[in-house]
Amino acid sequence: MIAAQLLAYYFTELKDDQVKKIDKYLYAMRYSDETLRDIMTRFGQEMDKGLSKDTNPTATVKMLPTFVRSIPDGSEKGDFIAVDLGGSNFRILRVKVSHEKKQTVQIETQNYDTPEDIMHGSGSRLFDHVAECLGDFMEKQNIKDKKLPVGFTFSFPCGQTKLNEAVLLTWTKRFKASGVEGMDVVQLLNRAIKKRGDYEADIMAVVNDTVGTMMTCGFDDHRCEVGIIIGTGTNACYMEEMRHIELVEGDEGRMCINTEWGAFGDDGALEDIRTEFDREIDRGSLNPGKQLFEKMVSGMYMGELVRLILVKMAKEGLLFEGRITAELLTRGTIETKHVSAMEKSKEGLSKTKEILTHLCVEPSMDDCIAVQHVCGIVSHRSAYLVAAALGAILLRLKENKHVARLRTTVGIDGSLYKMHPQYSRRLHKTVRRLIPDSDVRFLLSESGSGKGAAMVTAWAYRLADQTRQIEETLEQFRLSKVQLLEVKKRMRVEMDIGLGKDTQDKATVKMLPTYVRQTPDGTENGDFLALDLGGTNFRVLLVKIRSGKRRTVEMHNKIYAIPHEIMQGTGEELFDHIVHCISDFLDYMGMKNARLPLGFTFSFPCQQTSLDAGILLTWTKGFKATDCEGEDVVGLLREGIKRREEFDLDVVAIVNDTVGTMMTCAYEEPTCEVGLIAGTGSNACYMEEMRNIDLVEGDEGKMCINMEWGAFGDNGCLDDIRTEYDRAVDELSLNPGKQRYEKMCSGMYLGEIVRNILIDLTKRGFLFRGQISETLKTRGIFETKFLSQIESDRLALLQVRSILQHLGLDSTCDDSIIVKEVCGTVSRRAAQICGAGMAAVVDKIRENRGLDHLNVTVGVDGTLYKLHPHFSRIMHQTVKELAPKCNVTFLLSEDGSGKGAALITAVGCRLREQEKQQQS
């Protein structure tokens, strides 16, 4: 018993002694955490260089865009072929992805040899060989007559400009086929297939094996956004934000970047940690000076590194009593699989003795312990270096996501990682130490990169089909110049119908006379009260206008809410509420006793018979108060004031908000003769020649016409450009069949159109994983302000996602891109058809005056015009294109509906005084 203990003690002492000796000898291969963090920083800097357009040409870590924009989301399905070429063996797989109860994958695979003479022969011979094997596989599968989509895993550094194109930058892994570098490998394979002529293949995607690994693991875990290979070679890929990838246009969403990290250090960045053994390995390789990081960590070189260390130690008498055999001096006699065997915890020492005996070095127990430790240091260093480079990638993901703690999955494959007994544990432990604020799951790729290539192909196939179908859906909203000119032409026809005495009854564009005969001339003066009713809020204003050299307009106002039950109650209740608000305001201003002239901005379609009389034609914007339609609203207001018996007012004018907008801008700019509202609702007005207005007597001068153009199309004249989504929004509105033009271009409805499109795309499985949330089913949830936010150029996709998540829509980056495109398409059409209407108006003014060229200003107001990032620009552009003989300036109105009402009242008072003077 004591003898056994003594032997164990002696053995432990011996082992410790040998370990210390080797540690001292190979101290340059052992790194502190500080060194690893430094390497991590260096790799981060190399990544930045590779991503930047300016520094990429000289970068060693090439950071190649792969054009893979998404990891699998569970909706992939179909029958695919994957060709996996990356070493001396290559595989062809048939991958069937089906959706019955759950997504299942069936894989059938066959391995083919690539003889050395083909690897080192001509490129055409290599691709003929691949095409021949593919033909053999298809024949065995009995699918030669089917043109199945093919994914091509090509595990060499390639530059890509699209998913199905890859230009080989340089051969690695002992491949040296001539005439391939600088060529598109998809084209070369297609050419070889065509030459055979006995089958067709549709190569939809070419991916690197690392990307294939990420996609394979991404199928099982949707959090997977990094792929790593640690085998014969080594590489990594990850999902990068598009905004950081300067080599590819666009900054929306993400794209997988193939780092090609094997070349890290080729510019000397790792010189301080490379050893004499690393340099010797490099000198004896097929590609001296290249792939230096790979030569320090990958399985292809690990056994050889160990052999070189053992040779040197033996030469120095530190091993095998200085014995050096021919076997020990022969390259390739220690392979990485031997290193793995020697490091096994139980039988490692006996395996070491067996392997060394084969090398005829007659090892002692000391030698076996020492060699085992040498293997440990070399493989440990590999795991350390991979952990440092992976740490830089994880840190980048963490920063991209702006999170305090990163949760992610790394898909991993490669013989070294899988076969070595300690490697995976060492790697995981080091990563967690270097990036403590992270929860990283390492997921082993079960079926290599072939399944991943099929997943990329499935994704590309689905994406191509999905993109085509989404494009077809949105194409209905994309109007050509010919269609927009037709809208302009039809608007002009409807304007003429509205102006004609005999046709006005059946007109949809009512062209209502406003009895506003002049724009302000600057002599307006006095204190005026203005009321503004046009939505859920009601304003009362006191406007003090002063004329003279320094014209001023001073305004005081108070906002009052109109409860829903009053909006949809009786007319008497509505006007009593309005009068109550006026009373409160007059108390607030201390003006109960003054009989002020009043202008009433009433933003609903009215038939005016004079400046101070307007018959409500129809309620819009959610109002439904009874006993008002067909009545004079000024009369209803006067009756309400009478019932209150508290104060008296001189109601001078009833004004539409569009007219108020025109008047406000005309006060600043005399050439302003058109008003436009592009907000919750949409409308326009303009100064028409009296001779063209059949409904009002007299041919002299001009009068402002309130077009009420929102009803354009109510007679069906726009049906050819209305979509199923427009019809759905109309049918579920408060006024089906009415205000059809307004429902295509105003803020109140754009969000609803978008919501209906999103529901349809979700039903078809293109959005939100096919799940229609309760939120998406809720009418009115998608407010137009969200369109403005989503379409903002400054908004990154993550912020779009957060808006959608705020709406209860759990979206991916891909979803966000689609939503942004839908919003952009709907708002673009709105701006264009609004521009087509405006082009009809300004051209009519030009023709009225018999001018070849017209300079005119349009006063504009409305939240859509003011807040949407692109609406105004697109509308201006459309007017310019459709009315080239008009030079149109757009002037933003500052409080048109309040100040405008006061100005119309002021102009009305001025004209009334002039008439009195003329009569006397």
Catalytic (active-site) positions: 539, 603, 657
Between CA 692 and CA 704 the distance in angstroms is 12
CA angle centred on 452, ends 447 and 457, rounded to 5°: 140
Place of tokens 């992610």: 408
CA quadruple 306, 310, 312, 313: dihedral sign: positive
Place of tokens 């043109």: 147
Burial class from Cβ neighbours inside 10 Å (0-12, 13-18, 19+) for residue 476 reads: middle
Cross-strand pairs, 64: 258
Between CA 772 and CA 780 the distance in angstroms is 16
- 75 contacts 769 by C-beta, under 8 angstroms: yes
CA angle centred on 628, ends 624 and 629, rounded to 5°: 85
Instruction: Compute the half-sphere exposure of residue 863: CA atoms within 13 Å on the CB side of its CA.
Output: 14
Q: Which two tokens stand for residue 659?
A: 């007219």
CA 112 to each of CA 133, 193, 385, 452, 670: distance values in angstroms, whole numbers, following the listed order? 7, 17, 33, 19, 83
- 298 contacts 389 by C-beta, under 8 angstroms: no
Residue type, 799: Q
Between CA 397 and CA 908 the distance in angstroms is 66
Instruction: Compute the half-sphere exposure of residue 153: CA atoms within 13 Å on the CB side of its CA.
Output: 30
CA 23 to each of CA 20, 377, 679: distance values in angstroms, whole numbers, following the listed order? 5, 8, 76
Following DSSP, what letter does each residue of 773-789 receive, concatenated?
Answer: -HHHHSTT-S-HHHHHH
Place of tokens 């995976």: 424
Q: What is the DSSP letter of 715?
A: T
Between CA 381 and CA 362 the distance in angstroms is 28
- Would strands 406-413 and 438-444 be described as parallel, antiparallel, or unpaired? parallel
SS3 605: coil
Q: What is the DSSP letter of 361?
A: -
Between CA 762 and CA 745 the distance in angstroms is 24
Torsion, CA 718, CA 723, CA 728, CA 731, rounded to 10: 10
- 741 contacts 837 by C-beta, under 8 angstroms: yes
Torsion, CA 901, CA 903, CA 908, CA 909, rounded to 10: 120
Question: Beta strands of 833-916 (E only): which ranges?
Answer: 854-861, 886-892
Identify which of 763, 227, 157 has the alpha carbon closest to the alpha carbon of residue 456: 227
Between CA 41 and CA 464 the distance in angstroms is 39
Identify which of 660, 733, 732, 736 has the alpha carbon closest to the alpha carbon of residue 905: 660
Q: Which two tokens stand for residue 202?
A: 């549709």
CA 317 to each of CA 275, 323, 415: distance values in angstroms, whole numbers, following the listed order? 20, 8, 34
Which residues, 6+ apart, have CB-to-CB distance to 848 below 8 Å? Answer: 688, 689, 692
Helix or strand (DSSP H, E) at 150:
strand 149-154
Identify which of 302, 310, 257, 279 has the alpha carbon closest to the alpha carbon of residue 46: 257
CA quadruple 872, 877, 880, 881: dihedral sign: negative
- 567 contacts 623 by C-beta, under 8 angstroms: yes
- 107 contacts 132 by C-beta, under 8 angstroms: no
